[in-house]
Amino acid sequence: MILNTQLEYKGDLFPATIKAYKKDVDVLHFSTTNNVILQLTVLRDSVLRFRYTTVGKFENDFSYAIDENASRGYNHLEISDDDEKYIVTTSKLICFIYKSDLRKSIFDAIDKSLICEDEKGFHWEESYELGGDIVKMSKAAQNGESYFGLGDKPNHLNLKGKRFENWATDSYAYGKDTDPIYKAIPFYTALHDNKSYGIFFDNTFKTYFDFCHERRNVTSFWAQGGEMNYYFIYGPKMLDVVSNYTDLTGTPELPPLWALGYHQCKWSYYPESNVKEVTSKFRELNIPCDAIYLDIDYMEGFRCFTWNKDYFPDPKRMVKELADDGFKTVVIIDPGIKIDMDYDIFREGLEKDYFCKRADGPYMKGKVWPGECYFPDFTRPEVRKWWAGLFKELIEDIGVKGVWNDMNEPAVMDVPGKTFPNDVRHDYDGNPCSHRKAHNIYGMQMARATYHGLKKFNYPKRPFVITRSAYSGTQRYTSTWMGDNLASWEHLQIANIQAQRLAMSGFSFAGSDIGGFAEQPNGELFARWIQLGVFHPFCRTHSSGDHGDQEPWAFDDDITNIVRKFIEIRYQLLPYLYTAFHQYSQDNVPMLKSLVLFDQDDSQTHYRIDEFICGNQLLICPVNEPNAKGRRMYIPKGEWFNFWTNELVSGGKETWVDADLDSMPIFVKAGAIIPKYPIQQYVGEKTIDELTLDVYYKHGKEDSELYEDANDGFDYKKGRYSLRKFNLTGNDNKLVIRIHKRGKFFTSYNTFKLNLIGLPFKVKSIKIDNEYIDLKDVKFNGENSLVVSKEVTNIQIKG
């Protein structure tokens, strides 16, 4: 018998009338007669945080996602009210909070248009089983609204009409539409009437998002526990929404440049002779490669931080020899620690009480590669410190350059749910909780501890970490990949969508297992996948290894040549990619831009999935089908040069583009200045003594950038970088390039070689910093190139 009559109603509960309002600088409190409080924080003119409690008191305010250093501050804040509502006004937004039911409507402060409004708004259900609330929010979907983001979902880029769950899950050989998979990134952007906003639901419990799936006109999100706590981020440019979200959840640091090179991986290269065979073959065939990976078999019985001495008798020597040949060694480290009293790390973890426990005290025991394991509670600061310290030998002594964190959802084998049971306890940085709350951030906290270990022991070099699982904010510590995909044409398309989606979810440094992890690609699929992969920020071939080889030479000579050609293009584009990374790490600009991010005003872009912009000026479109001689694609508005033929095309339309197997559709934005290195077999192989700038003519203006520094280390943070801004202006018979330089870094080269592409006139004169130069020095008609000092500030080319 239920005695408490309030509990008899098992259904949605709603806030009642507002009875009190209080303002504390930028934090506003609205309390209702039934104990609900809405706390509204004005973080910026365009960023509002909404937090609700149903019990008249808030929990400790703690988040793993939010970066303490995120900028905060607004230009304008005004609060007023009338009979019906409170009105909060900033310079960008107006927010109404209705007195009768706490619902909200948000408007653009400038043109007063409606951006986002609550449907039912905040409501909740009491969780009879576990206590607390199932917290819910529903919004009225606007006419023609589209939705993007949400991390690694292997689904159509536009999320409209679908429902998703966020619960990090080991998903071997997942398929299109499998949900959830490895990551939980509860952030989406919405777009209607050419205006975009984003919602970041910072709740680490299992969360759900429904984009007009259950009800055509309603978008909702809810969580199995915790608080309704979300950030509303206004654009109106989607790019600004994404960069504000990235700033809020943490800007990544620059990786070492080699991490943008090509990486080769397999489960597993062993023994040492096999590793050497692979690395030597790269050099022999002149296929650039910077990193070689050791998967679980390098360890002694899969015990983390050990080596199998039969396979790798002298790891330090091997790592050094690989380094001498330009290879950085990256090793895998999983969270499961083998239960073995003869294993020092296990003993230490046990003695210091660092392993996760079940609700009633026993250890959380689970089977992973080494057999039965215990698992460190990475949500405890002292455990993270211990874990970071464990990398001393690997990094400082042996010379390993990168660490690969896997199985950190956390994955457990042979159990329902493939993870810890819900009752497992976690410290959650002094906010003790069950696994329901800590599950989605477990992998993130492991990667964080690993990152700190590398940062410490690799200093003064930069750390490189890669993780499989992630929550919002993980981009601060590590790169990522999409987990165990499959060698299929469908998965090639999925990889493209996931990389774009992660980039618009604040996590640009991502890539897929090129060629597919499970099963075996044929040469054609592998070549098409490499073509896409070289334009992803993280570029690694990986495979499960039990279906054949997946090195660039594993198919036939034609394929090897195509693979080499595209990896070489990536190495030439390294300064371009590095500049894009700088823009990401400096201004939170995503390194890949889906067409909707690039031009949201063009409604043609809202449902495009294959085409994307790499950096700011390269338009890429992979070929996703076998036997293709090309494909149809959408060229966004503006003028573009075909990368291969230099032919000029006007965008705003779909068109057929030729692309035999040794080619793919690549276009360069008119006016772009693309910096290029010579081909190297690995980063730093050559001293760069001249930098090539491919200058694409434009009738009009276009800005480009070139960021350079020592390619490693942290001196760039003290101003030792060089940032050049190029302003290009062209008309019928003139092309002018103005160059401004900032920063104290001196590049190794002294000259730029400019390749002038697409000039519509015959050159009659060239003036450099106000001096005419002899046209004999310029090789026109043929190469159309011009060598200038890197210090020039003004180049005028006249016809």
> What does DSSP assign to residue 251?
P
Instruction: Catalytic residue, from 484, 599, 639, 709: name it.
Output: 484
3-state secondary structure of 441: helix
Instruction: Catalytic residue, from 179, 210, 272, 406: name it.
Output: 406
- Asked if residue 296 binds ligand GLC (CB under 6 A), the reply is yes
Options 236, 483, 516, 671; binder of ligand GLC; rule CB under 6 A: 483
The angle that helices 523-533 and 557-572 make with each other, rounded to 10 degrees, is 0
Question: Would you call the peptide bond into 479 cis, given omega within 30 degrees of 0 as the criterion?
Answer: no
CB of 241 to ligand GLC, least distance (A): 31
Residue 267 or 644: which CB sits closer to ligand GLC?
267
CB of 295 to ligand GLC, least distance (A): 5
Contacts of 30 (CB under 8 A, 6+ apart): 18, 20, 21, 37, 38, 40, 86, 97, 102
Q: How many helices (H) and strands (E) does the chain have?
A: 11, 51
User: Under rule CB under 6 A, which residues in 324-363 are in contact with ligand GLC?
Assistant: 332
Residue 28 or 332: which CB sits closer to ligand GLC?
332
Residue 145 or 295: which CB sits closer to ligand GLC?
295
Residue 211 or 464: which CB sits closer to ligand GLC?
464
Options 406, 524, 694, 705; binder of ligand GLC; rule CB under 6 A: 406
Distance CA 44, CA 245 (A): 12
**Quick check: 717 and 743 in contact, CB under 8 A?**
no
3-state secondary structure of 413: strand
Per the document, the length of the chain is 799
CB of 468 to ligand GLC, least distance (A): 6
> What does DSSP assign to residue 496?
H
CA–centroid distance for 258 within its chain: 18
Options 484, 694, 709, 712; binder of ligand GLC; rule CB under 6 A: 484
3-state secondary structure of 233: strand
Ramachandran category for residue 151: left, alpha or beta (phi over 0 → left; psi -120 to 50 → alpha): left
Residue 205 or 442: which CB sits closer to ligand GLC?
442
- DSSP conformation letters of 696-717: E--SEEEEEEEEE--SSSSGGG
CA–centroid distance for 600 within its chain: 20
Bridge partners of 703?
727
- Asked if residue 610 binds ligand GLC (CB under 6 A), the reply is no
Residues 517, 523, 524, 529, Cα dihedral to 10°: 40
- Asked if residue 168 binds ligand GLC (CB under 6 A), the reply is no
- Asked if residue 152 binds ligand GLC (CB under 6 A), the reply is no
Nearest residue (beta carbon) to ligand GLC:
267
CB of 748 to ligand GLC, least distance (A): 37
CB of 517 to ligand GLC, least distance (A): 6
Options 108, 118, 202, 295; binder of ligand GLC; rule CB under 6 A: 295
Number of residues that bind ligand GLC (CB under 6 A): 9
Instruction: Catalytic residue, from 409, 602, 694, 708: name it.
Output: 409
CB of 404 to ligand GLC, least distance (A): 8
Residue 241 or 331: which CB sits closer to ligand GLC?
331
Site string for ligand GLC, 436-475 (x = CB under 6 A): --------------------------------x-------
Where do runs of H (alpha helix) occur along 36-146?
A: none
SS (H, E, C) 452-520: HHHHHHHCCCCCCEEECCEECCHHHCCEEECCCCECCHHHHHHHHHHHHHHHCCCCCCEECEECCCECC
Distance CA 232, CA 230 (A): 7
User: Under rule CB under 6 A, which residues in 521-560 are in contact with ligand GLC?
Assistant: 542
Is 409 catalytic? The answer is: yes
Residue 542 or 593: which CB sits closer to ligand GLC?
542
Distance CA 44, CA 72 (A): 6
Q: Which H/E stretch holds residue 562?
A: helix 557-572
Question: Would you call the peptide bond into 180 cis, given omega within 30 degrees of 0 as the criterion?
Answer: yes
CB of 354 to ligand GLC, least distance (A): 23
CB of 767 to ligand GLC, least distance (A): 56
Residue 296 or 330: which CB sits closer to ligand GLC?
296
Distance CA 93, CA 87 (A): 10
CA Rg value for the chain: 27
Is 202 catalytic? The answer is: no
**Quick check: 550 and 533 in contact, CB under 8 A?**
no
- Asked if residue 418 binds ligand GLC (CB under 6 A), the reply is no
Residue 292 or 786: which CB sits closer to ligand GLC?
292
Options 21, 267, 714, 780; binder of ligand GLC; rule CB under 6 A: 267
- Asked if residue 639 binds ligand GLC (CB under 6 A), the reply is no
Tokens of 396: 């400082």
- Asked if residue 636 binds ligand GLC (CB under 6 A), the reply is no
Is 81 catalytic? The answer is: no
User: Under rule CB under 6 A, which residues in 710-769 are in contact with ligand GLC?
Assistant: none
> What does DSSP assign to residue 598?
H
- Asked if residue 398 binds ligand GLC (CB under 6 A), the reply is no
Residues marked active site are found at 406, 409, 484
Residues of this chain that interact with ligand GLC (CB under 6 A) are 267, 295-296, 332, 406, 468, 483-484, 542
